[in-house]
Amino acid sequence: MVDEQIAARGMRDPRVLAALRSVPRHLFVPPELRAHAYDDGALPIGGGQTISQPYIVAIMTEAVRLRQRDRVLEVGTGSGYQVAVLAQLADRVVSVERMVVLARTARRALHALGLQQVHLLVADGAEAVRPDQLFDAVLVTAGAPTVPNQLRTRLADGGRLIIPVGPLELQTLLLIERHGNSFTQSSLGSCVFVPLVGRSGWSSSQG
């Protein structure tokens, strides 16, 4: 998977490639779909959610430029696969999932890998963490209509936010960086994610 789907497309960061190689993706896929765990695409995991395409996971992980000392917030645990990859590269990862069933399944898979630096919360997005709790990196694994201000304010100085933003049918993957009280924004390309539902995103009727 890593050689043919990721490195072959130009991904060269050795730490990211090593992290992807170290996480068995099949542990995060429903049993009936495990024969397709290493395919080049997203897979359903229940509740209308998906485990992201491996290449998208790689793009987001590389773009956020994690250091071993970093504190990371992930919004949208889903299967837990992205969390497991991030945990190979950072000091601490807080991941938030609003669906209890998905959080329970992800917690089992993360526990099986012995990832003690992951703290999984069941809550609505960034509201799960204190307003004064800052992170070096924030990743959002669901598409939002706009960039939620509360996620910007969770960034420490020099922090990076990766988030898909746009209509339900097609989003742009954005990289937002904080420099003191100002922010820069750049595009990482087009993508399609499941909707971010809650106060930071779409309403449940829209999503």
Catalytic residues: 52
Are the C-beta atoms of residues 20 and 28 closer than 8 Å to each other? Answer: no
Distances in Å between the Cα of 121 and the Cα atoms of 73, 93, 96, 162 are 11, 11, 5, 20
Answer for the pair 74, 82: CB distance below 8 angstroms, yes or no: yes
Per DSSP, the three-state class of 130 is: coil
DSSP letter for 143, please: B
Instruction: List all residues 6 or more positions away from 78 whose beta carbon is below 8 Å from its beta carbon.
Output: 45, 49, 50, 51, 52, 97, 102, 106, 141
Tell me if residue 192 falls in helix, strand or coil: coil
| Burial (CB count within 10 angstroms: exposed 0-12, middle 13-18, buried 19+), residue 48 | exposed
